[in-house]
Structure 1
Amino acid sequence: MRYGFIGLGHLGRYLAGSLLKAGFDLTINDLDKANARTLIEGGAKWADDPQALAEKVDCVITCLPSPKVSEAVLTGPRGILSGLKSGGTWIEMSTLDHNDVTRLAAVAADKGIRMMEAPVTGGVHKAATGEITVIAGGDKDLFELHKPALQAMGGEIFHAGDLGKAAVIKVITNMLAFIHLIATGEALMLAKKGGIDLTDAFNIIKASSGNSFVHETEGQVILNGSYNINFTMDLAVKDLGFALGFGKEFGVPLDLAEQAMQTFIRAKAAYGGGAWSSQVVKLLEDATGTDLRAPGFPAEL
């Protein structure tokens, strides 16, 4: 099975790298060839555009920043559908709205291409070690066909059901993470203002009923001051927008998600859309004139 991978950003470069390490025949493409340099040195083949890539492979994997970009790469001039042969597969690992997933799947199907969605969750640091969680949606036989590739890229692999279902649960996991991130910042600031050593506070919370995955991971990059979680404010606002859209569609009031959205919008306005999402906590630091630095935490996860 020959795979192509388009989108070598903070996340995609690690996912593609895991495929390469596992011995898969891999062709890659990105707007910036510099992002591909290490992969090319490791044996990946370069294609100048999505069509050229698709012409050389059986399955194209995309990991892109927005539904608009995914659609352009799929259907635009020199896009995937111009090069991938009928009977091929498109695996979309980007975070999309479930309606975008089903709509783009229909577009691909018209060209004889089957689609599977496979968004990931758990953080870029887990992608770097091949341990990120993969949530697949689509036909079960297609899932089984490409399961070895998914297992190469991730740790726990789930099949969530029909197309669109993985998009919904992925957005739910991100919604929870953003809410937990704001709560972690508030908890650490309370500890700081209460005169508790922040290293002690981190460890006590980690061992408590108030612990979360976000506290264990993003809590560290807050305390070391790097905020570097390789996930931007723009992406956080996008994903919270998806969650709130699901709330309206499914008739579920999302009070905490709505409040989190407003907090992230303020953080984006203050620090820019390209700032790391964990810098949302900096709003609280700036408001109180107190930082949340603690010695002893690594510069990166």
Structure 2
Amino acid sequence: MKIAVLGLGIIGSRAAENLRLNSDHHVTLWNRTPKGFEGECNDLLKAAGDAEVMALYLKDGPAVREVTTQLFHSLSNKPTLLNHSTVDLATTHWLAEECAKRGWGFLDAPFTGSRDAAAGAKLVYYAAGSSSLLEKMKPLLLETAKEVIPCGDVGRATIIKLVTNLVSACTVQALAEALATATRHGIAPETLTSAIASNACGSPLAALKLPTMASGDFTPHFSLQNMLKDSRYALELAEGLDTPAIRTVSDRMAELCESGLSEQDFSCLASPYLDS
């Protein structure tokens, strides 16, 4: 297939590399800020021009709208657009409508999984849209993922992605508070990590994040600024509901971004406790 991967951040660059391993594909790459990857084009329209599939791994709703508006106004072919970017629900519906006007295929297909999962082709896609198109695209999706979860109509995958990230953000804040409280009373981080692993509150997220939080290693797997963005989209979805947990965590993430931690992993929610 002729595939254009648009957006070469932590996830997009690694997904693109996995697609390039399949010699049957012709893969072109593009990023708003050129990164110098093999196969990368500096011109968006050149990268996407004759693509059968365009896979978006862009930062947010405004970036997706900016890039796809150029594509909608310039391309004469009828590709399939796979939106893997985490965006607001309104942008997902806008994409679906614009694609339908032009006879393009469209899947609402955000992912879960961070840097290492992307490198190992072990992302999980939440996928919503036409069931027939999803079946057609599933083999391609599985070249960068270990699982594709059908979610129904367009928009439902976006919602699931945002509410699951809500849980992750609140969980990491809770882990940061637990770590700070336990170590203040002389409990070793390793003991807490082991105890949580055997507790009902244990999770792969806790197992992944607690050791690096304890050591102050916030090398980005999923950045704080991206989690902040997703928390704000989740708050939009929850408008009219009382959601104190994600609102509080969103405010904390905003403070830390303003303090210069925006590019760090979102586990830097533990950072204020390490500095105290």
Q: TM-score, normalised by structure 1?
A: 0.86
Q: How does 1:87-98 map to 2 (within 5 A)?
A: 88-98=79-89
SS of the equivalent of 1:152 reads coil
The one-letter amino acid of 1:243's match is A
Q: How does 1:221-232 map to 2 (within 5 A)?
A: 221-232=212-223
1:127 aligns with 2:121: no
For 1:174, the equivalent position in structure 2 comes to 165
Partner Cα separation in structure 2 for residue 4 and residue 167 of structure 1 = 22
* Structure-2 change in CA distance of 1:18 and 1:81 (3 Å): farther
Of the structure 1 ranges 159-168 and 100-109, higher mean CA displacement relative to structure 2 is found in: 100-109
Number of positions where the alignment pairs a residue of Structure 1 with one of Structure 2: 275
Partner Cα separation in structure 1 for residue 26 and residue 252 of structure 2 = 44
For 2:250, the equivalent position in structure 1 comes to 261
Partner Cα separation in structure 1 for residue 226 and residue 116 of structure 2 = 17
* Structure-2 change in CA distance of 1:269 and 1:210 (3 Å): same
For 2:29, the equivalent position in structure 1 comes to 28
> Structure 1, residues 162-214: CA drift from partner, whole Å, max 9, x if none?
11111000001111100000011111112211211211221221122221232
Partner Cα separation in structure 2 for residue 46 and residue 270 of structure 1 = 33
How far has the Cα of 1:272 moved from its partner?
A: 4.1
Of the structure 1 ranges 61-70 and 264-273, higher mean CA displacement relative to structure 2 is found in: 264-273
* Unmatched runs of 5 consecutive residues or more in structure 1: 290-301
Q: Alpha carbon RMSD of aligned pairs, Å?
A: 1.7
Partner Cα separation in structure 1 for residue 58 and residue 250 of structure 2 = 22
How far has the Cα of 1:224 moved from its partner?
A: 2.9
1:62 aligns with 2:53: no
The one-letter amino acid of 1:109's match is A
For 1:53, the equivalent position in structure 2 comes to 47
The one-letter amino acid of 2:62's match is K
Residues 180 and 212, structure 1, Cα contact 8 Å, conserved in 2: no
Partner Cα separation in structure 2 for residue 68 and residue 156 of structure 1 = 28
SS of the equivalent of 2:238 reads helix
For 1:159, the equivalent position in structure 2 comes to 150
For 2:109, the equivalent position in structure 1 comes to 118
Partner Cα separation in structure 2 for residue 35 and residue 263 of structure 1 = 35
The one-letter amino acid of 2:74's match is S
Residues 124 and 147, structure 2, Cα contact 8 Å, conserved in 1: yes
For 1:285, the equivalent position in structure 2 comes to 274
Residues 4 and 51, structure 2, Cα contact 8 Å, conserved in 1: yes
How far has the Cα of 1:84 moved from its partner?
A: 5.3
SS of the equivalent of 2:86 reads coil
Partner Cα separation in structure 1 for residue 174 and residue 259 of structure 2 = 19
Residues 62 and 93, structure 1, Cα contact 8 Å, conserved in 2: yes
Residues 15 and 153, structure 1, Cα contact 8 Å, conserved in 2: yes
For 1:299, the equivalent position in structure 2 comes to none
1:103 aligns with 2:105: no
For 1:298, the equivalent position in structure 2 comes to none
How far has the Cα of 1:81 moved from its partner?
A: 4.8
The one-letter amino acid of 2:75's match is G
How far has the Cα of 1:270 moved from its partner?
A: 2.1
Residues 179 and 214, structure 2, Cα contact 8 Å, conserved in 1: no
Residues 228 and 278, structure 1, Cα contact 8 Å, conserved in 2: no
Residues 50 and 77, structure 2, Cα contact 8 Å, conserved in 1: no
Residues 227 and 278, structure 1, Cα contact 8 Å, conserved in 2: yes
